[in-house]
Amino acid sequence: METAQETLTAPAATETVNVSGSVALLEALIAEGTDTIFGYPGGAIMPIYDALYDYNDKLNHILVRHEQGGIHAGQGYARTSGKVGVVFATSGPGATNLVTGLADAQIDSTPLVCITGQVFAHLLGTDAFQETDVINITTPVTKWNYQVTDATEIPEVIAKAFYIARSGRPGPVLIDITKNAQIQLFDFPGYQPCNHIRSYRPKPIVRPQYIQQAAELINSAQKPFILFGQGVILGSAEQEFKAFVEKSGIPAAWTILGAGAIPSDHPQNVGMLGMHGNYGPNVLTNECDVLIAIGMRFDDRVTGRLDKYAKQAKVIHLDIDPAEIDKNVKSTVPVWGDCKETLPMLTAAIEQKQHTEWLAKFNDYTRQEVEAVIHNELNPATEEMTMGEVIKHLNELTNGDAVIVTDVGQHQMVACRYAKFNKTRSNVTSGGLGTMGFALPAAIGAKFGAQDREVVAIIGDGGFQMTLQELGTVMQSGIDVKIIILNNRFLGMVRQWQELFNQRRYSFVDIQSPDFVTLASAYGIPGKSIDSRDDLPSALSEMLNNKGSYLLEVIVTKENNVFPMVPQGCSVSEIRLK
Amino acid sequence: MENNHKTNHKVSPAGGDLEGASKKEFNITIYTENQIGLLSRIAIIFTRRKINIDSLNTSPSEIDSIHRFNIVINEYEEVVRKLTRQIEKQVEVLKAYYHTNEDVIWQELALYKVSTDVIAEKVSVERLLRENGARAVVIRKDYTVFETTGHREETDNLINILQPYGLIEFVRSARVAIIKDSEGFNSKLREFERLEPGEEVIENEYLNQGQKVFTM
């Protein structure tokens, strides 16, 4: 085995090596730069795990406690590292447990390659033990999937899988490998990465005439407004984006997944878009004359009611995915292409400007929002703590340098609104799918993807209980993640809606929790629970200073609401401050 | 987390404002790799939006190894345009087009099984064949199978004619359609196979509209 491995890493051009499909798979992963795998073994993937036994020095396999945890960890890893997350699961229930994570990665454009074991090819369709039709189950939630039944297909298929997962608009790929193909020996000719598939165009060709038209619109605009999304981060175009923002002088607001693409305290960063976004960006969307959307997809949580969304504005839409152009909002100028290429072209074609008055208008709205909402959220007069003040104190201690991983619900909106981000790839959250239970496993992966960074998971009491088994993964891997549970003893976001729209009929939102600190301690993770404001700064310091993982539970106000809010079915300019 | 907020204006299943538009028949032509699972990947693009596929045909194309789908749906053009983009986004799809019935030459084939006794007794087979452009495929003692090819109205018409004579069985094929102004896919394929293809591979419908797009 050892000798075979050594030969494989540097194969001579004409020589082939006789290996199993499993070994070919692992060699392919190494060739693609994989260092970490999140997985869970089982019957149908045993030959791969047997091969993995000899690759311990090259591939760090993290044993998770549930396949959903494995795939969310893979997502967290991909989001902080910018690399492709790799996940292993067995057939049947192992594979079906990946589905939530696949759907999450698909809607949030996260590059993943998931490998699932499958029953022997001759058993396909016989209702064999742990057989499910994984390919058909996962088709709607993968960018591409493929079933391998013959080992000779493995090198080419894995090369395609990585190429598809990371290129263009990234996304999850699932490769289902039957057990016979994992075992089968074949002549491995060495690994060839893939850089072209004739039926697949990762990037549309950039049309200079649209750059020109867009630049003319921008140059003549009085009240231009930039909306940016994760496309800037996925395209590694943060510098190009900053240059564009600064030369144009245009105020810029972010979608939840775009947070951190430029630092929170950049003077032209006017805040968050959408349902619980900032006041100014929402109201002024319906007042701008040119809307420049960059790497974002006009999700309904961003646009509110579409027929009352920015109807007065000319729309310039920069996106790598042609299917996104005109999907929700009609564009005046469609700028198809990778924003890493299109932004510098656009920057070169526009005039250096300042929009001082227009920017001041955003600041006016910020003042109103601070007065009506933010001040009380961050400096509450109540005895009980708010979620916002926890984030405020955390900002002071991390100085905005930490990776913040959030789950889904009120704490997520509060964290995204108030957390400070100095760096890109700092905000890891489940945006499109809204997957409760995402944060704990994603934080584990996020740390493996950015080992030199502080990773803080902020999770609600509800979401934490969906994947708390991953505390076992934290324990066994020895990873250092800080966990803050913001406990309001409610499924807070649903409760907020029930309060506002269902006449306070609190239907099944009252949730009890275990003693989280004792629970963590059962996994050997130190922790503390606080309910007094006086303890907050010291508890946060203690958490951050602890070598290794730590769980801090903060008991916060039970019935606090997240504001501002664009009620569903309303226009963004109908945003409510209370 | 969805509220039951009612909106009065007409909204398509695929999103977008469809005020003033009307549904009609569209022919979607898709050039694809020959890949297991692709049929389902394409079909779910329709089913996800609760759109019924009226007719679906897969066949070889003018190029060896490349398959061609013909799909017929009854929808708003705005919806069809978005669906076509979503289809083209699939990794193994080379190109997807949509056309109205006027833009294509299309045919459907139908088979009709009728009792030979009834036909012989009650109608003149010869007249039937001549008037409906049909031909007898099989004539047996117990039944006769007719075949006709044409547009929907033509194949429907023969059903109506044969119904009174005890139509035993009827089946119609999916639609096949040739695009009137297409130059075929041979030259395009060479572009697709290049690492840096020319502009025509990723056609931009805005380009054809020229100045119409940009008005301020």
Kindly determine whether residue B3 and residue A568, on different chains, have CB atoms separated by under 8 Å: yes
**Residue in B5, B94, B199 nearest the CB of A199:** B94
Positions of A marked catalytic: 67, 129-130, 179, 493
pLDDT confidence bin for B189, thresholds 50/70/90: confident
Domain membership of residue B80 (yes or no) is: no
Cβ-based contacts of A501 with chain B (< 8 Å): 3
Distances (CA, A) of B138 to A535, B135, B147, B161: 91, 9, 9, 19
pLDDT tens figures, A533-560:
999 999 999 999 999 999 999 999 999 9
Statement to judge: residues A274 and A129 lie in one domain: no
Q: Which domain holds residue B163?
A: 106-172
Q: Copy the structure tokens of residue A222.
A: 């009085």
Residues of A in contact with B1 (CB under 8 A): 434, 493-494, 497
**Whether residue A411 is found in the same domain as residue A549:** yes
* A505 in the same domain as A356: no
Neighbours of B45 (CB within 10 A): 20
CB contact (8 A) between residue A568 and residue B206: no
Question: Which chain A residue lies closest to B95 (C-alpha atoms)?
Answer: A199
pLDDT band at A518; cut points 50, 70, 90? very high
A201 with B201: Cβ contact below 8 A: yes
pLDDT value for A1? 38
Task: Give start and end residues of each alpha helix (H) in chain B.
Answer: 38-47, 77-88, 116-122, 125-132, 152-162, 186-193, 205-209
Q: How far does the CA of residue B106 sit from the closest CA of chain A (Å)?
A: 26
Q: Residue A218 is part of a domain; what is its CATH number? A: 3.40.50.1220
| Residues A464, A335 share a domain | no
Position B120 confidence tier, pLDDT thresholds 50, 70, 90: confident
Listed by number, the residues of chain A in 410-449 with a beta carbon closer than 8 Å to a beta carbon of chain B are: 434
User: Are A354 and A411 in a shared domain?
Assistant: no
Q: Which of A145, A220, A569 sits opposite B7 (nearest CB)?
A: A569
Task: State how far the Cα of A425 lies from the Cα of A442, in Å rounded to an integer.
Answer: 13
Is there a domain that residue A283 lies in?
Answer: yes
Whether A369 is covered by a domain: the verdict is no
The predicted model gives A315-324 an average pLDDT of: 96
Residue of B nearest to A167 (CA): B91
The answer to whether residues A80 and A179 belong to one domain is yes
Residue B186 pLDDT > 60: yes
List the one residue out of A235, A246, A257 whose CA is nearest residue A107.
Answer: A257
Q: Which of A304, A334, A362 is the last residue of a domain?
A: A362
Q: Is the pLDDT reported for residue A435 higher than 60? A: yes
- CATH number of the domain at A26, please: 3.40.50.970
The tokens for A52 are 């993995």
Same domain? For A212 and A176 the reply is no
DSSP code of A307? G
**What is the number of domains present in chain B?**
1
Q: Which domain holds residue A350?
A: 208-362
Residue B153 in domain:
yes
The answer to whether the peptide bond before residue A564 is cis (omega within 30 degrees of 0) is: yes
Report chain A residues whose CB lies below 8 A from the CB of B17: 306-307
Report yes or no on A231 lying in a domain: yes
Domain contains B148 = yes
User: Three-class SS of residue A484?
Assistant: strand
In a domain, A372, yes or no: no
Whether pLDDT at B192 is above 60? yes
On whether any CB of chain B is under 8 Å from the CB of A322, the answer is: yes
Is residue A572 domain-resident? no
| Residue A195 domain-assigned (yes or no) | no
Q: Find the range with the poorest average confidence among A97-101, A343-347, A459-463, B183-187.
A: B183-187
Distance from CA of B127 to the nearest CA of A (A): 50
Q: How many domains does chain A contain in total?
A: 3
Q: Which residues of A touch B207 (CB under 8 A)?
A: 207
pLDDT band at A361 (very low <50, low <70, confident <90, very high): very high
Average pLDDT over residues A268-283: 97
Asked if B182 has any chain A CB less than 8 Å from its own CB, the reply is: no
**Domain check: are A37 and A168 in the same one?**
yes
Task: Convert the pLDDT of each residue in A109-152 to its tens digit.
Answer: 999 999 999 999 999 999 999 999 999 999 999 999 999 999 99
Is the pLDDT at A196 greater than 70? The verdict is yes
Q: How far is CA A572 from the centre of its chain?
A: 24
Quick check: A497 and B3 CB within 8 A?
yes
Does residue A226 fall inside a structural domain? Answer: yes
Between A528 and B7, the higher pLDDT residue: A528
Instruction: Please indicate, yes or no, whether residues A457 and A514 belong to a single structural domain of this protein.
Output: yes
Residues A333, B214: C-beta atoms closer than 8 Å: yes
Taking an 8 Å cut-off on Cβ atoms, the answer to whether B7 and A323 are in contact is no
For A422-456, give one letter per residue: b (16+ CB within 10 A) or e.
bebbbbbbbbbbbbbbbbbbbbbbbbbbbeebbbb
Same domain, A170 and A212: no
Q: What is the CATH number of the domain that holds B122?
A: 3.30.70.1150
Give how far B191 is from chain A: nearest CA, Å.
Answer: 9
Is B36 inside any structural domain? Answer: no
* Residues A450 and A409 reside in one and the same domain: yes
Strands B135-139, B143-150: pairing kind: antiparallel
Establish if A560 belongs to a structural domain: no
